[in-house]
Amino acid sequence: MGSTELGRAVRRWRDRVTPDAAGVPVGARRRAPGLRREELADRAGISVDYLTRLEQGRATSPSAQVAEALARALRLTDPERELLFRLGGLPVPGTGVVPTRIPPSVQRLLDRLADSPVAVYDATWTLVTANAAYDALLGATTAWRGIERNALWRHLVGPGSRVVHTADEYADLVAGLVGDLRLTAARYPADPRVRRLVAELGTLSPRFVELWESAEVARRDVPSRRKVVDHPAVGRLTLDCDTLVVAGDDLRVMVYGAEPDTDDAERLALAVVLGTQAFVG
C-alpha cells in the first residue's frame, strides 16, 4: 500500500509542477499540464524506467538520495517532503544529519543563475546538484553515483576534474577539503553517512589518512576563488569561482563566472553552448 500511495503522490506532484517553474521549454503541441515523466527523471537524475516503476508501485524502496532528488525536482514543501520519505519507508532526515535538501529560497537563486555554471555541495563536499551549464563546463555529473559524487574522493582517488592545479594548489585544496570534512564530522557526530565516508576514504587513500590524523583545521578560503579550467573544446580559461555557504542549511553553492567582455567570458559562453547542445543531442 505504501509503495502504491508513493507512486500516486509522485504522479500528483509531477502533474502540479509547471514547465515554466522547472525551466522546461514549452512547445506548441504540449498537452501535459505538468512535467512529463522523462522531464522529471532528467531533473532528478534517475532513469525514466525507474520513475515509471515508482509511479506504478512496482519500485518499493527508493534510496534517501533518490527521495531527496525527487523532492527537489518536484519543488516539494517541507511537509510534502516528509510525506515522500515516509511513504518510501525512509526515516525523515533530522537535525543530527548533514542536510542535503535545497530550500525553495536557494532553488530560486539557482533558477536565476541558470546561465552560469553552478553546483551545490553538502557539508561533506558531496554533490547535491549541478546545472546544465556546470556540466557543460566541467563534464557531465548525472552518471555519478555514491562516493563518486564526493569531491574528496574525486581528487584523492578518482579522476579529478578539468580544473588545472599546480602541485601547491592541489595540496592546499585537498588539505582544505579534508579539514572541512573534519569540522563537519564534529558537527554531525551521529550521522552514519559521515562515518561511512570517512571510513571509506581512509581505506582508499593513504593521503587522506595522513591529513585526517594531522588534525589541521580547515581554512575558509578553500576552494580557491580563481580557477583554470582545461576545456576539451575551447581550451584553457581562467574563471572566478565563488563558493557561497548557506549557513542555515549547511550547503556550499559554487558559482563559476568570468569578467564581462573578456576572452575568458567569450570562451565560457561558447563552452556552455557547445556542452548544452551536446547533452540535448
Question: What fold does the segment set 2-87 form as a domain?
Answer: 434 Repressor (Amino-terminal Domain) (1.10.260)
Longest dimension (CA), the chain: 61
With a cut of 60, say whether residue 280 has pLDDT above it.
no
With a cut of 60, say whether residue 109 has pLDDT above it.
yes
Residues in contact with 247: Cβ distance below 8 Å, sequence separation at least 6, in sequence order: none
| pLDDT in the model for residue 279 | 54
More confident of the two residues 207 and 92? 207
| Confidence band for 238, pLDDT divided at 50, 70 and 90 | very high
Distance of CA 162 to the CA centre of its chain: 17
- Give the range among 22-36, 40-54, 110-124 with minimum mean pLDDT: 22-36
| pLDDT in the model for residue 1 | 44
User: What is the amino acid identity at position 190?
Assistant: A
| pLDDT in the model for residue 248 | 84
Per the listing, cell 565516508 goes with 197
| pLDDT in the model for residue 26 | 67
| Confidence band for 45, pLDDT divided at 50, 70 and 90 | confident
Q: Where does the chain show beta strands of DSSP type E?
A: 118-121, 127-130, 163-164, 226-231, 235-246, 251-257
Question: What fold does the segment set 104-280 form as a domain?
Answer: Beta-Lactamase (3.30.450)
More confident of the two residues 92 and 186? 186
pLDDT, tens only, 168-182 = 999 999 999 999 999
Average pLDDT, whole number, for the chain? 88
More confident of the two residues 33 and 165? 165
Here the cell at position 30 is 504540449
With a cut of 60, say whether residue 196 has pLDDT above it.
yes
Q: Where in the chain is the domain with CATH 1.10.260.40?
A: 2-87
| pLDDT in the model for residue 126 | 96
Q: pLDDT above 70 covers what percent of the chain?
A: 90
Q: Where in the chain is the domain with CATH 3.30.450.180?
A: 104-280
pLDDT, tens only, 218-228 = 554 455 588 99
* 26-41 burial code (b ≥16 CB/10 A, e <16): eeeeeeeebbebebbb
More confident of the two residues 63 and 124? 124
With a cut of 80, say whether residue 20 has pLDDT above it.
no
pTM of the model: 0.78
With a cut of 90, say whether residue 153 has pLDDT above it.
yes
More confident of the two residues 221 and 56? 56
| pLDDT in the model for residue 281 | 47
**Residue/partner pairs of 220-224 with CB below 8 Å, 24 or more apart:** 221/176, 222/172, 222/173, 222/175, 222/176, 222/177, 222/179, 222/180, 223/173, 223/176, 223/177, 223/254, 224/169, 224/172, 224/173
What does the pLDDT average to over 32-53?
A: 88
